[in-house]
Amino acid sequence: MGIKVKAIVIGATDYKEKDKRITLFSLEKGKIYATLKSVKSPNAKLKFAKELFCFGDFFIDTPSMIVTGVDVENNMFELTKDIDKYYIACAILDVVNTVLKEGETNAPLFLETLKALGAIAYDNVNDKYVLIKYLLSVFSAMGYFVALSNCSVCGEKFSGKRYLNLDFGEVVCVACKSANCIEISARAGTALKLLSETDYDKLSTLKLSKGSEDEVLNILNINFDRRFNKKLKLL
């Protein structure tokens, strides 16, 4: 008995002397755990499959959950050649590991993750733009932080200051803000709107105000911490 899943390696830990336990984000089964036997040996046939970001078809024996074969589509090797790219890509994997429960399938998130990792690996783009867009997509899919043009409470179009409501993870106007809100500057608001509306393959055409991406990432990280009780490790 066995299964074949199209999956990305999103985590790996040492197991026994020569084995690895890997976490897979699969299209068909969601987040699952499997074992690569003897892959720390120099001549191991599947040693490439223990690396983060490896993407392809994984053949897994059940119920032992031992990987018996892998047809690699893309090893995302470019992500390991640049330390900045690597850390941003790892932050994306951290998001997946945090928001996705074991056995929970999420095809839109799977495809979004592949797009984001591919953009970081192969597109001439500011990698922080990719991470911001990815986080916005995750929040939007979960019903948070979706109103960037209009107040999420009263529905009025933003004409002045806007704020992130830390209780609900939504953007509100000055009239609807509460004590537990943080201000979003004009440049950060513009950056959020542009990045949310731009496809991954067009991100390279954007040039935002200097420093705005760091301000936006800080806001999104605060929101992520409030929603999932975890801060992302960012550069």
**Which residue has 């992500």 as its token pair?**
79
> What is the C-alpha separation between 165 and 175, in angstroms, rounded?
12
Q: What is the mean pLDDT of residues 194-221?
A: 92
Query: What is the per-residue pLDDT across 55-83, written as a single tens digit (0 to 9) for each?
Result: 999 999 999 999 999 999 999 999 999 99
pLDDT > 70? residue 147: no
3-class DSSP assignment, residue 18: coil
CB environment 13-41: b (16+ within 10 A), e (fewer): eeeeeebbbbbbbbeebbbbebbbbebbe
Cα–chain center distance at 61: 28
Q: What does the pLDDT look like over 148-166, one tens digit per residue?
A: 788 989 999 988 889 999 9
Query: What are the structure tokens assigned to 186, written together?
Result: 């004009």
Domain ranges of the chain: 2-77, 82-146+181-228
Higher pLDDT, 139 or 8: 8
At residue 57, the 3 state secondary structure works out as strand
Question: Is CATH 2.40.50.140 the right assignment for the domain spanning 2-77?
Answer: yes
- Measured from the Cβ of residue 83, the count of other Cβ atoms closer than 10 Å reads 9
Tell me, what's the pLDDT at 114? 97
For 78-132, write each residue's pLDDT tens digit: 999 999 999 999 999 999 999 999 999 999 999 999 999 999 999 999 999 999 9
Q: Given CA atoms 98, 170, 141, 89 in this order, what sign does their dihedral have?
A: negative
